[in-house]
A and B are shown apart, each in its own frame.
Chain A
Amino acid sequence: MRLLWVGISLVGAAAWGVIALHRGETISAAWLVLAAVGTYLVGFRFYSRFLANRVLGLDGRRATPAERLNNGRDFVPTTRWVLFGHHFAAIAGAGPLVGPVLAAQFGWLPGTIWIVFGVVLGGAVQDFVILFGSMRRDGKSLGQMAKEEVGPVTGMLTMLAILAIMIILLAVLALVVTNALKDSPWGVFSLLCTIPIALGMGFWMKAVRPGKTVEASIVGFALLLAALAGGRYVAQSAALAPLFTHGGVTIAWALMVYGFLASVLPVWLLLAPRDYLSTFMKIGTVALLAVGILVVMPPLRMPAMTRFVDGTGPVFAGKLFPFAFITIACGAISGFHALVSSGTTPKMIRTEPDARVIGYGGMLMESFVAIMAMCAAAALDPGVYFAINAPLGTLGGTVASAAQKIGSWGFTVTPDQLSGLAQQVGEKTLLGRVGGAPSLAVGMAHIFSSATASRLMGLWYHFAIMFEALFILTTLDAGTRVGRFMLQELLGHLSKPLGRTSWYPSTILASLLVVAAWGYFLIQGVLDPLGGINSLWPLFGISNQLLAGVALCVGTTLIIKAGKARYAWVTLAPLAWLLAVTLTAGWQKIFAADPRLGFLSHARDTAAKVAAGAVDPATGARLMLNDRLDALLAGIFMATVVALLLASAREWLAVARGRKPAVVRETPFVESAYA
């Protein structure tokens, strides 16, 4: 057994060695996968065991909420590996796929290192600690834990921070979908089809054959594939194609209408069936991608490091530090997981020791998805990668101008190559499709079609686009609904009837407000001449990592109050790193002198252009308002987290100095029947 672990460690170390020594030459994606998996296994075997036994003290004799409160519905003791799958499906989304693709502008090496080591020492620790804390408290949410263990003000701040972050998250994800679908009749048609398919499934499960969810989902999935194939026909038909060809603004409005409807309609009709479909797709496609990468073992054509580490990159502005760590987002550490880890999952854990593989292991799996996304992006020709991901404003409108511009960055790509690729995947153009989803889809299509047949490239591309869009829409509808409930809870403090979630006028008002909030940022992103991802994705990354900071603050408090202050470094160290990264990034986004990077200097730059007559005053005023709004939001995020940190630190010191007893508010011990 010990020999096995020595072997695994050696293989992992050797893979890192190959990566370190082969810089400058093309290496195979296999080395990345090997290095990552080796590190995960060692991290899981040793570090997570240390966390489980020494720091948290998982106790197999202690009954879990699922066992004590078992009601056959939400509190259900669930087999470990089934729950692992369920938890993974709940935390995985578009984030770990899109983030690494964008971060590939720095080359594949910096992102890969952060994805692998960030998760082992940070992301997985956060998920595990919060899952543990919630499990010991009958499945309480992050906000409730913050309120009880730190204080009521902290609880309120956490709620507000979550709501604000949710708005930005929804806006940026909607923007990713919009950019992938604009002027793409194939994509629009197949995604539109998912709505009637979901409605049909919902109706079937509710009225025709109640509760028969699996059969409905299988039929739904088959219809989905039919819609995908039908999309090609639509795109090639002169009569139908124009009906499904829409610009960004129209698609953005359609997404807003969809989010609103999903928030007010009964859940069985739209939300639940879509969730089943997207979970099927998610697990299936992630498995397919893993097999594809292992079979094809694509060479990584992107350099390990590009010249854009200096901050001049076209995909997003900013230097390697801190922006590589902001952009990767969910693949290494994600604050949003703290919401899932303190939601459904803790109510289903059968015995305490299971929390280790579910909390820590589930996040390792998510990180592996991020590594695969990085492989898919780095397997693309760098010229093609930049043609898809650089904003149209930078590339110019034609393949010739794009090829020339990309050539000036030191990457060769021919106009024919670009137009040929677009034709292969069934699009008019791939230029400037910022947001990560299209380039990931090209990367995936490239891998899948070299494993199958190259004439299937278009089908695979649209399969990947549909898969990403489907689960972004699932986040969009669930997120709008969560936002609506949070807003109703907050409004309830102002006026009692507004807090009643079953009162239709309140539901409609709150849903409208939430959709208007993310819709505003979405529309501004669509109209942004630099493509919007430039400003919104860093804002999302900052907010998501700051939410992770909040979770780690709460986690540290739990550890210290449990009398384990000597081990508090397990959460304090990632917290310190995250704060250094996010506060630096936030500061730079607000105050940097470079107008490409800093919101305020961009506003000044726009004002100068308006004065010089280069930008018309109405557009200029809108751009400046957005810059200031973005700056304000970044400032609010930073201030909230600093306030939370100070409030938590006061608690930590009070406990450390003995002014407060080290007591946690866990549910009392009950002997487990499983032990």
Chain B
Amino acid sequence: MREGGKTEGRKDGRFDGIPLSVFPSFRLSVLARLHSALKQITGMPDYAGYLAHMAERHPDRRPVSEREFFDQYVNARYGDGASRCC
């Protein structure tokens, strides 16, 4: 998967007045966007979205590797026991 979030041509990082971070998988193919939506619905880590976020908000910082992102995400989400219903 390509690294999302490149914002050339839209220097203000906006699209129709909406910040690009809203579309984590902006400019990705339909399949990749479906993939991303599926991940978000099931609560899986969305690395492409994270890369887009880093590129958009913190271009000066190096994003963590996919492996490290997975660890951090899973711990943030389940570390204290995910709340879920009966």
Contacts and interface: CB of A to CB of B under 8 A. Distances in A.
Are A and B co-members of a single complex? yes
B67 A211 contact: yes
B67 A336 contact: no
A210 B78 contact: no
Contacts of A621: none
B53 A72 contact: yes
Interface in A582-623: none
B85 A82 contact: no
A334 B37 contact: no
3 smallest beta-carbon distances between A and B, as pairs: A481-B81, A95-B86, A72-B53
Nearest to A484: B81
B37 A82 contact: yes
A112 B55 CA distance: 51
Q: Which of the listed residues A73, A90, A263, A482 has the most CB atoms from chain B within 10 Å of its own CB?
A: A73
Q: Which of the listed residues A82, A283, A339, A350 has the most CB atoms from chain B within 10 Å of its own CB?
A: A82
A89 interface: yes
Contacts of A92: 85
A89 B46 CA distance: 17
Interface in B17-71: 18-19, 21-22, 24, 35, 37-47, 49-50, 53-54, 57, 66-67, 69-71
Given A72-B53, A336-B85, A214 B80 contact: no
B24 A76 contact: yes
Contacts, number: 151
B17 to A, nearest CB: 8
A73 B72 contact: yes
Interface stretch (A268-276, A294-302, A520-528, A662-670): A268-276
A213 interface: yes
B82 A276 contact: no
A474 B84 CA distance: 9
B56 to A, nearest CB: 9
Q: Which of the listed residues B21, B22, B42, B84 has the most CB atoms from chain A within 10 Å of its own CB?
A: B84
A268 B85 contact: no
Given A268-B71, A334-B86, A337-B85, A77 B22 contact: yes
A641 interface: no
A205 B21 CA distance: 26
Interface string A259-271: 0000100011001
Contacts of B18: 673-674
Interface of A: 70-74, 76-79, 82-83, 85-86, 89-95, 169, 173, 205-206, 210-211, 213-214, 217, 263, 267-268, 271-272, 275-276, 279-280, 283, 329-330, 334, 336-337, 339-340, 343-344, 350, 474-475, 478-485, 501, 540, 544, 673-674
Contact of A210 (B42, B70, B86): B70
**Secondary structure type dominating chain A contacts:** helix
Nearest to B51: A72
Contacts of B21: 70, 77
B35 A283 contact: no
A279 B43 contact: yes
Contact of A95 (B24, B67, B77, B85): B85
Contacts of A94: 86
Contacts of A350: 22
Contacts of B41: 82, 85-86, 89, 279, 283
Given A482-B83, A673-B19, A674-B22, A72 B42 contact: no
Q: Which of the listed residues B40, B84, B86 has the most CB atoms from chain A within 10 Å of its own CB?
A: B86
Nearest to B65: A210
B78 A271 contact: yes
A482 B86 CA distance: 13
B82 to A, nearest CB: 5
Contact of A211 (B19, B24, B47, B85): B47
A210 B65 CA distance: 10
